[in-house]
Copies of this chain bind each other. A is one copy, B any other.
Amino acid sequence: MALAEKQRREGSEKPTRIQEINRSIILDAALDVFSIYGFRGSTIDQIAEKASMSKPNLLYYFKRKDDIYAGVLEATLDEWLEPLRGMNPDGDPVEELRRYITRKLEMSARKPAASRFFANEILHGAPHIHDFLKTELKQLVDAKSTMVRRWVSEGRLAPVDPYHLFFLIWATTQHYADFDVQIRAVLGDEVDRPGFYEQTTQALLSILLNGVKVR
């Protein structure tokens, strides 16, 4: 007892194989459930069932519902910002924007649950990530906005406000995941047609990029 018990304080010990597997299973299940029902709308039982696990067992890995939620956040946040981080200040402005938009769209399409998860969090007032938004996100956006502003001043981009440009890109690329139900209601099975995704990408790129190209 003694050793393991001592080592585990600070929660900094390396997890066992089983812990690693089960935590991952739980986080996957939790992302699905939270993304549909939001924090309060989701129950631990739902998550446990989706993870094929009893509730007490799940609570053995994450002591509280909040901890599960925090775990999902942590596992998703960084990946979510990766496309923005990856914008290259030395690249061709329009090409960089095209790439950023494409990657954001691709991520929303591949992980719609993650997109909806964030949308829920923000809609509910971002209680868990308010600090993150005001620090990390803000810094990143500030940096990339400076970059865009430079592109504009160099005459390589139409005079757009960088912040509004990013908001516009976020809004549009996440819309197809977050408002999926509405889009399906309007377009019907069209959405599942092969090629729909590519068509969407083209439609967005064509309008957004035309709006920022120098003319």
- Contacts known (A41-B40, A172-B172, A182-B122); A158 close to B210, Cβ less than 8 A: yes
The listed residue (B37, B38, B181) touching A122 by CB distance below 8 A is B181
Stretch binding the partner chain, chosen from A21-29, A51-59, A183-191: A183-191
- Tally of A interface residues using CB under 8 Å: 55
Q: Which of A41, A165, A207 gathers most chain B CB within 10 Å?
A: A207
A81 at the interface (CB under 8 A from B): no
Q: Give the copy number.
A: 2
Chain B, residue nearest A207 (CB): B211
The listed residue (B158, B163, B170) touching A175 by CB distance below 8 A is B170
Q: Tell me, in angstroms, the Cα distance from A167 to B182 when the chains sit together.
A: 10
Does A185 contact B138, Cβ atoms closer than 8 Å?
Answer: yes
A94, chain B: closest CB distance, angstroms: 13
Does B138 contact A178, Cβ atoms closer than 8 Å?
Answer: no
